[in-house]
A = this chain, B = another copy of it.
Amino acid sequence: MGGDYAPKNVIAGAVDALAETNCRFFLSLVGMEEKIDRELQGHPLLRSLKPNAYEIVNAREVIGFTDQATAAVKTKKDSSIAVGCALHKEGKADAFVSAGHTGAVLSASTLVLGRIAGISRPTIGALIPTAKSPSLLVDAGTNVDCKPRHLFEFAVMGSVYVEAMLGKKNPSIGLLSIGEEDNKGNDTTLEAFSLLKQSKLNFHGNIEGRDVLQGKVDVVVCDGFVGNILLKFGESVPSFFKAKFMTFAEKSIVNKLVALVAKGGMRSVMKELDYQEHGGVPLLGVNGVSIIGHGGSTPKAIKNMIFRAEEMVQQKVNSRISEAIMQYA
Contacts and interface: CB of A to CB of B under 8 A. Distances in A.
A117 interface: no
A228 B229 CA distance: 12
A236 B209 contact: yes
Contact of A144 (B178, B211, B214): B178
A245 interface: yes
Interface string A141-178: 10011000000000000000000000000000000111
Contact of A237 (B222, B223, B237, B262): B237
Contact of A265 (B130, B189, B224, B262): B262
B243 A131 contact: yes
A245 B265 contact: yes
A43 to B, nearest CB: 33
Contacts of A229: 176-178, 208-209, 222, 226, 230
A262 to B, nearest CB: 3
B224 A178 contact: yes
Interface stretch (A48-56, A83-91, A253-261, A291-299): A253-261
A185 interface: yes
A225 B178 contact: yes
B186 A225 contact: yes
Contact of A233 (B212, B241, B249, B259): B212
A326 interface: no
Contacts of A209: 228-236
A268 interface: yes
Contacts of A144: 178, 185-186
Contacts of A243: 131
Given A178-B144, A233-B230, A213 B240 contact: yes
B233 A234 contact: yes
A272 interface: yes
Contacts of A214: 236, 239-240
Nearest to A233: B209
Interface centre among A176, A226, A265 (most CB of B within 10 A): A265
Contacts of A236: 209-214
Given A212-B236, A233-B230, A272 B244 contact: yes
Contact of A241 (B178, B189, B211, B269): B269
A269 to B, nearest CB: 5
A315 to B, nearest CB: 29
A248 interface: yes
A34 interface: no
A45 interface: no
A241 B234 CA distance: 12
Contacts of A178: 141, 144, 224-225, 228-229
Interface of A: 130-131, 141, 144-145, 176-178, 185-187, 189, 208-214, 222-226, 228-237, 239-241, 243-245, 248-249, 255, 258-259, 261-262, 264-266, 268-270, 272
Given A208-B228, A261-B262, 18 more contacts: A131-B239, A144-B186, A177-B229, A178-B224, A178-B228, A185-B225, A209-B235, A210-B232, A211-B236, A212-B236, A213-B236, A213-B237, A213-B240, A214-B240, A226-B229, A241-B269, A244-B269, A258-B265
